[in-house]
Amino acid sequence: MRTTGIRGPALLVALLLAGPVLAAGELPAGVGDDTRAWLELQASGNAAQAAPRPMPGEVADKVYQRYLDSFENRVPDSFDRESFVSSGGSGS
C-alpha cells in the first residue's frame, strides 16, 4: 500500500486547496490510493478471521439479561418533541 505521508487535518487542507483541480475531474497523484487499497482488502476477504470469535459466557449472559429487561419499559405511543431538546439548544 502506498502512503502519501499526509494525515488528518493536513490532508483536508491539501484537498481544499486542490479544489480547482478536483473540480476539473483530475485527482493529484496518490489521492484515493489508501481508500482503494482498504476497499480491495475488505472485498477480497484476505484479512478476514478464519473462525468467528465466540462471545464469553459472562458477556452473553449480561447481553441477554439486558435484552430481557428492555421489555419491562413500555414504548410510548408518541414522544413529546420538547423532551429531545437539550438545555440551551435552539430546538431546530
Q: Which helix (H) or strand (E) holds 31?
A: none
pLDDT digits (tens, 9 = 90+) for 5-17: 556 677 777 767 7
pLDDT-based confidence at residue 69 (cuts at 50, 70, 90): very high
CB-based contacts of 13: which residues, under 8 Å, 6+ apart? Answer: none
DSSP code, position 71: G
| pTM score of the predicted model | 0.31
DSSP code, position 27: P
Alpha-carbon dihedral 3, 8, 11, 16, rounded to 10 degrees: 160
